[in-house]
């Protein structure tokens, strides 16, 4: 109905509208759609854009009684302190390392899982598999972390018990810095892969079935169907999600890391988010950690822009 | 279908109109007066408003139901109290944000060592000394002199301490039946202590033929195991709060003394021999006492008042178990148990409209007649016996609780949401945690002394004596300016180092040099200088 209205208006007028006239016309024509947009728009204004104003305390010595504007400007002092702080450099290194390995392992995993689930022909079994892989997502990291502690305990954890029964040495996984990041990656994979696969399964279900039929007539086997029909059908979703995930590159998951870390493994477990929590919230150094958060956000933004440009260069759809 | 009356659009609009007008009128109506609020004589709108931030009760609703809160409300009919309850866990995250935003309650609960420096820096709290002189005579009469030290800044008293509720209560406790089974006595020296821990782990003290027992489960970050450290003349300070002592006429931090390295080497050797539970350090906070209470570990460093509770818990898996407290083990550096002093307090922000009433309210808790009503553990009339003919509360004795059996469990379940600090954890703890006030009249004091005696076993009371005998307190009275910038970094680095040193994942010599280097380059000398200027 709305489309026909636009065609009609264009046909009748036969002349070009000014930008604002077209804008108002569209606003009225699609008023119900825009109405639906109001709440999310207000949400973003209040909770996303308005707080950005507070970022200026990254350049001030923030004092409560003087307020944000009244506090003294200190330029890039907090950034200098941040990059001179050996703890922050370690934090940055850990964050990049965890983020990189999470991207490498946890991004493709749901795509592969979705492709495999899609190949299951027995419907009851398919539903069973889907349910089993979704369930961990619904456990909070607190519960999941506790399960990991129990499973990996050197005293009586099942992993160590099996290792001991095979004549191997017991390992205190949560006391060795070298094990921390692999535990984070693997636990993320186990917990979230199934849930993340949903979006790919939904996309697969929208692929035109005639493409499969045509490919089968051309003699394609199941592997080739997956390779030449399903994967290209997923390409746009994959690129979009990849670019979005890149934007959160340095957000490696506060809850998970915070719950799993301890002082024994801090050298590989301290990340920007836990650093901000520890220093910013617990020690109330809001100006200093706003600088850290701003840095985090800027890195994310640059990475998104780069990924978008890269995608367009490769003739893949970007997000802008 | 056609037989049903039609609900027309006009009717729908009318109904919506009536609903909206009713809702509007309801919203505009004055709040209904509570029949039993005791303020019926006060015209609406003339009450003073005081908000109280505290951590008692399992929720704000539970706190409202507590006897302490109801008594407070009824005793001050001229004041409208806003109950700003917060859970202890949330408090830790919330207080810095409250300070930064200025959103403090009129009576703001906080930690003197951690929170007051920030409040002073932001100039958000008022001086309380003169107000205490005027309105706080009951508090002043019962508070030990030492308790005030942490709340004096620039010569001004800026907070009301958590008065008589101290945390100088820690001691080492053992499985008496295990010691007996192994033919060992309560250790007196640090070497004997090590042997006991090793034997608990490796010599099957429970006699079940399985390798399923341990000496002790260390606290996360080794932040609560000072009984070992004092034997080497140093201490970590509970929760990594630091421990300062006079050395050659200057206050020095224990963390950088040679004895610290020796203590870590000693602990590492016990760890290597399996004396500590292998999940120690890396498990989440709060598990410290659980291995002991579950009958897995034979030693724990905890509050003296936990002896009876621990014994009862262990007896569910080992009916013959006994728990005994022991003296601080002696070593080359002496011996001792860390006291935490008086960390909790109340401050009054500059935004409080009635500061004198705020002090009056706190002081009210220390009026003997009021304290006598709220000092008991349990919820009045449910998990304690209620008030006697004098209006003094009465607790159940352990024997009476045991005789009640399932009924006791039922009572506890009934009020479990209130029983976290009994609904309003203000200036007063509960009997045991606090002692009967010196200001109590003789008969009242005798009542509570008698109850205290009946409340704890001989072993517990012996543990209390031990905890006091070996009590050591840091000599740094309060935070200094440099704490804010440097102390958190030093805490993190030191916590990391000692955890790794004890568990043997680093070379202690190398780790020690690196730690000293870190201390030198990250504010250690400035901190020491400022502490000595206090």
pLDDT the model gives residue A2: 46
Neighbours of A112 (CB within 10 A): 12
**Residue contact B499–A170, C-beta within 8 A:** no
Which of residues A167 and A3 earns the better pLDDT score?
A167
pLDDT the model gives residue B294: 92
Q: What is the CATH number of the domain that holds B159?
A: 3.40.190.10
In a domain, B279, yes or no: yes
Q: pLDDT tens digits, residue range B10-36?
A: 655 555 555 554 544 444 444 433 333
In a domain, B201, yes or no: yes
pLDDT the model gives residue B469: 94
Nearest CA to CA, how far is B212 from chain A (Å)?
Answer: 9
Nearest CA to CA, how far is A276 from chain B (Å)?
Answer: 12
Contacts with B75 (C-beta within 8 Å, 6 or more apart), sequence order:
B364, B370
Q: pLDDT tens digits, residue range B216-234?
A: 999 877 888 999 999 999 9
Spatial strand order of the sheet with B214-216 comes to B214-216, B297-303, B170-175, B323-326
Does residue B381 sit at the A interface (CB-CB below 8 Å)? no
Q: What is the mean pLDDT of residues B156-177?
A: 84
The torsion angle over the Cα atoms of residues B355, B361, B366 and B368, rounded to 10 degrees, is 140
Q: What is the mean pLDDT of residues A125-132?
A: 93
Q: Given B416, B438, B460, which residue is the final one in a domain? A: B438
Tell me if residue B301 falls in helix, strand or coil.
strand
Q: By mean pLDDT, which of A51-65, B46-60, B88-102, B511-525 is the weakest? A: B88-102
In a domain, B329, yes or no: yes
**Residue A194 in contact with residue A134, Cβ under 8 Å?**
yes
Q: Which residues in chain A touch residue B96, judged by CB atoms under 8 angstroms apart?
A: 281-284
Neighbours of B121 (CB within 10 A): 15
Q: What is the mean pLDDT of residues B259-285?
A: 91
Q: Is the pLDDT of residue A228 over 70?
A: yes
Question: Domains in chain A and their CATH numbers?
Answer: 2-52 (no CATH), 76-313 (1.10.3720.10)
**Residue contact B492–A65, C-beta within 8 A:** no
Range of the domain at B354: 48-164+343-367+424-438
B290 and B355 assigned to the same domain:
no
Chain B window 468-527: which residues touch A at a Cβ cutoff of 8 Å?
484, 488-489, 492-493, 495-496, 499-500, 503, 505
Rounded to whole angstroms, how far apart are CA atoms B379 and B385? Answer: 9
Domains of chain B: total: 2
> ipTM score of the complex?
0.76
Q: Which residues in chain B touch residue A161, judged by CB atoms under 8 angstroms apart?
A: none
pLDDT the model gives residue B422: 60
pLDDT the model gives residue A32: 93
In a domain, B104, yes or no: yes
Which of A63, A145, A263 is closest, CB to CB, to B221?
Answer: A263
Q: Which residues in chain B touch residue A175, judged by CB atoms under 8 angstroms apart?
A: 281-282, 503, 505
Give A251's pLDDT tier (boundaries 50, 70, 90): confident
B220 and B274 assigned to the same domain:
yes
B146 and B186 assigned to the same domain:
no
Rounded to whole angstroms, how far apart are CA atoms A220 and A212? Answer: 9
Mean pLDDT score across all residues of chain B: 86
DSSP secondary structure letter of residue A57: G
**Residue contact B503–A172, C-beta within 8 A:** yes
B248 and B320 assigned to the same domain:
yes
Q: pLDDT tens digits, residue range B402-440?
A: 899 899 889 888 887 776 556 566 666 777 777 888 899
Q: Which residue has the tokens 């890195």?
A: A299
A186: its two tokens: 């693997």
pLDDT the model gives residue B223: 85
CA pseudo-torsion sign B269, B274, B277, B279:
positive
- On the CB side of A228, how many CA atoms lie within 13 Å of its CA? 14
**Residue contact B281–A264, C-beta within 8 A:** yes
Q: Is the pLDDT of residue B248 over 60?
A: yes
B329 and B227 assigned to the same domain:
yes
**Residue contact B282–A262, C-beta within 8 A:** yes
B219 and B289 assigned to the same domain:
yes
Nearest CA to CA, how far is A153 from chain B (Å)?
Answer: 7
Cα A297 to its chain centre, rounded Å, is 13
B331 and B215 assigned to the same domain:
yes
B103 and B213 assigned to the same domain:
no
> What value, to the nearest 5°, has the Cα angle with vertex A159 and ends A154 and A164?
70
Residue B79 dihedral angles phi and psi, to the nearest 5° = -120, 135
B134 and B197 assigned to the same domain:
no
Q: pLDDT tens digits, residue range A140-191?
A: 999 999 999 999 999 889 999 999 999 999 999 999 999 999 999 999 999 9
**Residue contact A264–B488, C-beta within 8 A:** no
Q: pLDDT tens digits, residue range B457-468?
A: 889 989 999 999
Q: Is the pLDDT of residue B520 over 70?
A: yes
B92 and B180 assigned to the same domain:
no
Q: What is the mean pLDDT of residues B369-390?
A: 90
pLDDT the model gives residue A204: 94
pLDDT the model gives residue B449: 92
Q: What is the mean pLDDT of residues B143-169?
A: 80
Rounded to whole angstroms, how far apart are CA atoms B361 and B348? Answer: 12
In a domain, B64, yes or no: yes
In a domain, B155, yes or no: yes
B141 and B197 assigned to the same domain:
no
Which of residues A7 and A131 earns the better pLDDT score?
A131
B180 and B270 assigned to the same domain:
yes
Helix axes of A19-29 and A31-44: crossing angle, nearest 10 degrees: 100
Tell me if residue B298 falls in helix, strand or coil.
strand
> What value, to the nearest 5°, has the Cα angle with vertex A76 and ends A70 and A80?
135
């Amino acid at each position: 109905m709305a489309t026909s209205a636009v065609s009609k208006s264009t046909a009748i007028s036969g002349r070009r509208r000014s930008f604002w006239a077209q804008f108002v016309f569209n606003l009225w024509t699609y008023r119900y759609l825009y109405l639906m947009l109001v709440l999310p728009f207000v949400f973003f204004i209040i909770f996303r854009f308005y707080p950005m104003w507070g970022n200026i305390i990254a350049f001030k010595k923030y004092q409560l009684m003087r307020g944000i504007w009244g506090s003294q400007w200190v330029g890039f002092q907090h950034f200098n302190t941040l990059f001179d702080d050996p703890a922050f450099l370690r934090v940055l290194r850990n964050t990049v390392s965890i983020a990189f390995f999470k991207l490498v392992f946890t991004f493709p995993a749901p795509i592969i899982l979705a492709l495999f689930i899609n190949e299951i022909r027995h419907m009851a079994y398919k539903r069973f598999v889907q349910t089993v892989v979704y369930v961990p997502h619904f456990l909070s990291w607190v519960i999941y972390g506790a399960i990991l502690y129990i499973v990996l305990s050197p005293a009586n954890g099942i992993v160590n018990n099996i290792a001991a029964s095979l004549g191997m040495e017991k390992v205190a996984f949560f006391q060795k810095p070298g094990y921390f990041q692999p535990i984070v990656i693997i636990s993320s994979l186990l917990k979230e892969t199934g849930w993340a696969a949903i979006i790919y399964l939904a996309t697969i279900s929208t692929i035109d079935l005639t493409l499969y039929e045509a490919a089968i007539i051309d003699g394609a086997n199941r592997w080739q169907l997956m390779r030449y029909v399903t994967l290209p059908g997923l390409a746009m979703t994959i690129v979009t999600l990849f670019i979005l995930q890149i934007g959160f590159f340095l957000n490696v998951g506060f809850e998970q890391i915070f719950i799993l870390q301890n002082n024994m493994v801090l050298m590989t477990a301290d990340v920007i988010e836990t650093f901000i929590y520890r220093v910013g919230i617990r020690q109330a150094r809001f100006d200093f950690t706003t600088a850290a958060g701003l840095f985090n956000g800027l890195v994310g933004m640059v990475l998104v822009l780069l990924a978008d440009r890269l995608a367009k260069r490769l003739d893949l759809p970007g997000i802008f | 279908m056609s037989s049903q009356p039609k609900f027309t659009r006009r009717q729908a609009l009318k109904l919506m109109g009536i609903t909206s007008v009713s809702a509007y009128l309801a919203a505009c109506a004055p709040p209904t007066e509570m029949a039993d609020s005791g303020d019926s004589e006060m015209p609406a709108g003339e009450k003073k408003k005081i908000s109280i931030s505290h951590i008692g009760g399992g929720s704000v609703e539970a706190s409202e139901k507590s006897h302490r809160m109801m008594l407070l409300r009824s005793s001050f009919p001229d004041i409208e109290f806003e109950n700003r309850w917060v859970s202890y866990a949330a408090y830790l995250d919330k207080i810095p944000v409250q300070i930064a935003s200025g959103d403090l309650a009129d009576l703001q609960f906080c930690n003197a060592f951690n929170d007051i420096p920030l409040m002073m820096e932001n100039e958000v709290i008022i001086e309380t000394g003169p107000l205490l002189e005027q309105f706080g005579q009951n508090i002043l009469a019962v508070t030990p002199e030492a308790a005030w030290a942490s709340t004096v800044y620039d010569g001004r008293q800026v907070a009301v301490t958590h008065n008589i509720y101290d945390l100088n209560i820690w001691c080492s406790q053992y499985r008496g039946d295990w010691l007996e089974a192994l033919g060992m006595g309560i250790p007196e020296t640090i070497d004997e202590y090590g042997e006991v821990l090793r034997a608990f782990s490796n010599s099957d003290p429970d006699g079940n033929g399985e390798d399923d027992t341990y000496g002790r489960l260390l606290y996360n970050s080794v932040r609560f195991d000072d009984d070992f450290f004092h034997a080497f003349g140093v201490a970590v300070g509970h929760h990594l709060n630091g421990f300062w002592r006079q050395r050659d006429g200057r206050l020095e931090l224990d963390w950088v003394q040679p004895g610290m390295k020796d203590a870590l080497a000693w602990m590492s050797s016990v760890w290597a021999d399996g004396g500590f539970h292998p999940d120690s350090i890396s498990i989440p906070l709060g598990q410290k006492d659980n291995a002991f209470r579950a009958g897995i570990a034979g030693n724990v460093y905890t509050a003296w008042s936990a002896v009876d509770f621990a014994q009862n818990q262990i007896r569910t898996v080992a009916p013959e178990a006994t728990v005994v407290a022991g003296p601080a083990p002696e070593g080359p550096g002496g011996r001792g148990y860390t006291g935490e002093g008086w960390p909790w307090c109340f401050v009054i922000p500059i935004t409080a409209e009635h500061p004198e009433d705020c002090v009056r309210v706190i002081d009210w808790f220390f009026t003997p007649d009021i304290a006598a009503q709220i000092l008991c553990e349990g919820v009045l009339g449910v998990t304690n016996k209620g008030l006697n003919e004098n209006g003094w509360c009465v607790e159940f004795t352990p024997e009476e609780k045991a005789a009640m059996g399932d009924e006791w469990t039922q009572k506890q379940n009934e009020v479990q949401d209130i029983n976290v600090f009994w609904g309003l954890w203000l200036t007063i703890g509960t009997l045991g945690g606090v002692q009967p006030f010196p200001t109590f009249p003789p008969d009242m004091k005798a009542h509570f002394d008698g109850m205290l005696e009946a409340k704890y076993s001989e072993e517990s009371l012996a543990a209390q004596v031990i905890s006091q005998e070996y009590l050591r307190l840091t000599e740094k009275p309060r935070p200094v300016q440099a704490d804010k910038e440097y102390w958190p970094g030093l805490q993190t680095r030191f916590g990391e180092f000692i955890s790794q040193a004890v568990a043997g994942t680093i070379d202690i010599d190398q780790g020690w040099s690196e730690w000293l280097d870190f201390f030198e380059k990250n504010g250690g000398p400035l901190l020491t200088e400022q502490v000595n200027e206090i």
